[in-house]
Copies of this chain bind each other. A is one copy, B any other.
Amino acid sequence: MEKSQKIIFASDENCPVRRSLNLLGGKWTLLILFQINERIIRYGELKRAIPGISEKMLIQELNFLVEHKFVSKKAYPEIPPRVEYSLTKLGLKTLPIADTLATFGLESLT
């Protein structure tokens, strides 16, 4: 049997790995997507789900993810305010990335 050889191209700015990392390579980005996952989750829940993240970074990332259509946001005109976040169709497609990171962490890191 002939062994199929993987062809690797130079990774310029158009490389899909690089384009993905440009969007998702932030320190918290994939973790936030992973935590939202398939649920509808409020801002405060999300904050508690990611201990250590600052409010600034969380809201900044959420704004970024909403702007780039990974996450959709629904705000209820209530007092105190209630805002729910969930993944869009595009956001759901990022879940395999976080899953692969989780698998690697579980299987290969001490």
Contact = CB atoms under 8 A, between A and B. Distances in A.
Main secondary structure of the interface of A (DSSP, over half): helix
Contacts of A17: 30-31, 34, 98, 101-102, 105
Contacts of A102: 16-17, 20
How many chain copies? Answer: 2
A72 interface: no
A105 B8 contact: no
Contact of A12 (B24, B51, B101): B51
Nearest to A13: B52
Contacts of A19: 105, 109
A27 to B, nearest CB: 6
A106 to B, nearest CB: 5
